[in-house]
Chain A
């Protein structure tokens, strides 16, 4: 008689791993390549003036940035583009990564289970507001998120959430929602800077995308712009005169239409109540 827990464990693990109910996700390679392109782009941008000059992007955006000054140029690029998953959404809220400084950023409490999801009762207020502005009749589900808070990490938004269309994005894709003040993340201050941001090229020569709309801001109305990215996503942002910003990415499943169109993105990101959640 044997009592070989190790054999049984190996057998059980193989059975678990080969469970047919869990299909391999699609678009893994494209997602990885898109993120790698973005990483190279960010590296080029943050690599200092020399790198900026080499890539042919003149220092003009420094002058155009809301707030200008000493913050490193981000050229308004939102965090990298998740394609098949909100892979760049931090599993934990920012701050602890490479930083010893604590902050008040906490993840929204998730429901346990196989699908990541935050119950409506646990939605942060800013998510509730955004959900109210999204088109009715669709199955919008908050997957995860944090904030608003004061992240200790640099270039990190004050709030971030992933909103799925269907609990597992089975209805077409997902959205990412960001809120940031000028001290944590700076976006373009005007349409010229937006154009410059869209024209940036990665190391592979692919430009970020095309500006499909840009409306200059005023004291009472935010700069609004949208970029149709070269990796099939639509990004839209509203930047207020005081530097506070809300931006959202509409990310379709492979082969699916955008989960939220330009008008829908505009309705959300330009909402005054939403940006006021930053205080």
Chain B
């Protein structure tokens, strides 16, 4: 990558990093994991920057990398006797919950922690990014039927773990 391309890459990241980091936060629920996830995706983008910039599709590539990376991390963890988070939470080291402003945010943040990365990915793509099922299926490399069933099961789970989501609109 020459100097001009690097400059363009920096400008692209500067313009997009806020939105990208918010998505990464939703996917991981964890500031450092979000940073690691985004950094990894951006590094992959950087290696292909010139061709992707010319094709006009860096956003699509980056989004795919973010979601793929997050789901593949989960796959690895699932297959490896992962022991992280085996201990009970220690309140002394808990950082203030970023969703502390409203009951919905508090409850939803907690409920999202109970989902698998793949479930989170489906939910974020569908209800945060507002993407159609076919596009979600394409990003996650699965069938539309899988997206549909994952969404259904995850919503059912969230109804239980986050009762605030089921409140009637009139009760808000």
Question: A: which residues have CB within 8 A of B?
Answer: 1-19, 21-22, 24-25, 28-33, 35-36, 39-40, 80, 82-89, 91-93, 95-97, 106-107, 109-117, 119, 122, 143-144, 167-168, 203-204
Rounded to whole Å, the gap between the CB of A222 and the closest CB of chain B is: 31
- Flag whether B138 is at the interface (Cβ < 8 A): no
Rounded to whole Å, the gap between the CB of B116 and the closest CB of chain A is: 14
A113 touches B167 (CB 8 A): no
Rounded to whole Å, the gap between the CB of B144 and the closest CB of chain A is: 17
Bound: A16/B25 CA distance, A: 9
Looking at chain B's contact residues, is the secondary structure mostly helix, strand, loop, or mixed?
helix
Cβ–Cβ < 8 Å partners of B1 in chain A: 33, 36, 203-204
Cβ–Cβ < 8 Å partners of B162 in chain A: 12
Rounded to whole Å, the gap between the CB of A153 and the closest CB of chain B is: 11
Given A8-B164, A113-B93, A204-B1, A168:B9 Cβ within 8 A: no
Rounded to whole Å, the gap between the CB of B149 and the closest CB of chain A is: 16
B87 touches A13 (CB 8 A): no
Cβ–Cβ < 8 Å partners of A21 in chain B: 96, 98, 100
Interface residues on B, range: 35 or more
B31-52 toward A: CB 8 Å interface, digit per residue (1/0)? 1110110111011011101000
Bound: A13/B6 CA distance, A: 33
Other A-B contacts than A5-B158, A109-B83, A114-B31, 6 sampled, CB-CB below 8 A, are: A3-B169, A9-B123, A22-B31, A32-B13, A87-B35, A203-B1
B165 touches A8 (CB 8 A): yes
Looking at chain A's contact residues, is the secondary structure mostly helix, strand, loop, or mixed?
loop
25 A-B residue pairs with Cβ-Cβ distance under 8 Å, sorted by A, are A6-B127, A10-B130, A12-B108, A15-B101, A16-B98, A17-B26, A19-B99, A19-B105, A28-B21, A28-B35, A28-B39, A29-B13, A31-B43, A33-B10, A39-B43, A85-B36, A87-B39, A91-B33, A92-B76, A107-B83, A113-B89, A113-B94, A114-B30, A114-B31, A116-B30
Closest to B167 in A: A8
Rounded to whole Å, the gap between the CB of A204 and the closest CB of chain B is: 6
Bound: A243/B170 CA distance, A: 70
Bound: A31/B10 CA distance, A: 10
Bound: A45/B12 CA distance, A: 29
Bound: A168/B81 CA distance, A: 26
B38 touches A110 (CB 8 A): no
Closest to B40 in A: A87
B165 touches A12 (CB 8 A): yes
Contact for B14 among A29, A85, A144, CB less than 8 A: A29
B128 touches A14 (CB 8 A): yes
Bound: A32/B13 CA distance, A: 10
